[in-house]
A and B are shown apart, each in its own frame.
Chain A
Amino acid sequence: MPDVDVLVVGAGPAGAVAACDAKQAAPGLDVVLLERDRAVGSPVRCAEGVGDAGLREFANPDGADWAARKITKVIFLAPDDTEVLVAERGVGWILDRTRFDAHLAAEAAAAGAHVLVGAEATGMSRNRRGGGDDRWHVRVKERGQDTVYRARVVIGADGVETMVGRWAGLDTRVPARDMESCAQYVLQGIECDPDAIYLQFSEAIAPGGYAWIFPKAVGVANVGLGLVALKTDGRNARQYLDAWVDRRFPTAARTGYTVGGVIVHTTIKKTYADGVMIVGDAAHMINPLSGGGITNAMKAGRLAGTTAAAAICAGDTSERRLAAYHHAWMELLGEDHLKYYRIKQALESVDDEFFNKLARTVNKIPAEKRSIGRIFAHALIRHPQLIPVAARFFV
């Protein structure tokens, strides 16, 4: 039975950073990073967009092979296809997640963490009677064989499925209204600005969510949408996407597709238990307004990795000690997500005609003076019921 100090389940951005930072914080610890799939970073279930500032806290995208495209513009598309260009500086990047996740896992390995691919955690249990061994026993299936790992701290970075949280007795369930069903194609041979991301909000195209075009190269983009099933006309996400792509890019070649869920909720009430921390998508640490989760996941991974290292070195991995991770996350971003969630709820009351009118009004502002803040101000004038929400958000 292999004994480890920190066992990280899931080698996405959250898990890889957690493993790397735990090892760097306490080089004497045994840190193991498990990946269920045969390759880290595959299959890609992501639109691959990330903000510049958040990314740079963890990796330098300049010239990196895992950065597919630098993005300098955001174009909002009204439901009637009116384009609104928003001027921003150093907006962000479209990643190549296959390479990016491999890069982060390699960093963890370079720090001394042990990376295992094709290794799936299938359950875990713990002797709760007190006294003696209180470590978690995690069953891992690898090449058809079961191995039980004994771990002082288990970090659950297992994404939307969030099984580690379930096994640890935490409530990681999601109400249906807070689950975005997403589908995406990689399209080749399309005409769009390769330096811009496009976001289209429309009840007819993506009810309760939005549709996106994220360029990966000139003429190549991730084209997808996320929607809330409760608001649809009965079609599923892929059927909505087919309709949108048929209309907008009828001649494009579809060279790949992916589907998945994005939890647009707020952080789970409790992200920790004795010897357990849950990070990233698994803990619902996604920005509920944008659906973005990559940098959030890495930030949470950093907090969890360093908390795990310090707890083990202090000989106390109880939930009382690990609660520090939860509080640090809530202070860093968790509280902000509660505000974003309220804005998301308020935006649910506006209809397509509102967005069409807003787009035409905002386009009268000179392009260089348009910012998200100004657009929001115009939205408030047109839609006074948003004012209390905005007041809560900005105060």
Chain B
Amino acid sequence: MRRVTPDTIAVVDLAVCDRCGLCLPLCPPEAIHLELNVLTVDRAACTGCEKCVGPCPVGALAMVAYA
């Protein structure tokens, strides 16, 4: 199945992220990973749905243009 490239995808500001893991189960395509104390968003899997952005308790996630 061909995946439609979203206009924007989620990125994490690691200087702000507290590694609490709250965003992981919110991500429908399970594109967020927390490993060795670093949060990463798999840009190939992110669908740009923004469900992770609002709930972040410290505002560490934001949407940026897919490039």
Contacts and interface: CB of A to CB of B under 8 A. Distances in A.
Interface of A: 45, 120, 122, 141, 159-163, 166, 172-174, 176, 179, 181-183, 229-230, 232, 236-239, 258-261, 263
Given A120-B36, A176-B51, A160 B56 contact: no
A259 B58 contact: yes
Contacts of B26: 173-174, 176, 179
A178 B60 CA distance: 20
Given A236-B57, A259-B57, A172 B36 contact: no
Contact of A179 (B18, B25, B34, B36): B25
B26 to A, nearest CB: 6
Nearest to B19: A43
- The residue in A160, A174, A232, A261 that gathers the most chain B C-beta atoms within 10 A of its C-beta is A261
Contacts of B58: 183, 236-238, 259
A161 B25 contact: yes
A163 B30 CA distance: 10
Interface in B7-30: 18, 20-28, 30
A277 to B, nearest CB: 18
A176 B54 CA distance: 9
Given A141-B36, A161-B34, A176-B26, A181 B56 contact: yes
B6 interface: no
Contacts of A45: 20
19 contacts: A160-B22, A160-B24, A161-B21, A161-B24, A174-B26, A179-B26, A183-B57, A183-B58, A236-B57, A236-B58, A237-B57, A238-B57, A258-B18, A258-B20, A259-B20, A259-B22, A260-B18, A260-B20, A261-B55
Contact of B22 (A141, A163, A166, A261): A261
Contact of B54 (A159, A163, A229, A238): A229
Q: Which of B55, B57, B58 has the most CB of A within 10 A?
A: B57
Interface in B35-67: 35-36, 51, 54-59
A30 B25 CA distance: 31
B25 A120 contact: no
B46 to A, nearest CB: 15
B28 A173 contact: yes
Nearest to A282: B25
A261 B21 contact: yes
A159 B21 contact: yes
A236 B59 contact: yes
Given A163-B34, A182-B57, A183-B58, 16 more contacts: A120-B35, A122-B35, A122-B36, A160-B24, A166-B30, A172-B25, A179-B26, A179-B55, A229-B54, A236-B56, A238-B57, A238-B59, A239-B59, A259-B20, A260-B57, A261-B55
B57 A173 contact: no
B47 to A, nearest CB: 13
A317 to B, nearest CB: 25
Given A120-B35, A160-B25, A162-B25, A259 B55 contact: no
Contacts of A122: 35-36
A179 B36 CA distance: 24
A275 B56 CA distance: 33
B56 A179 contact: no
Contacts of B24: 160-163
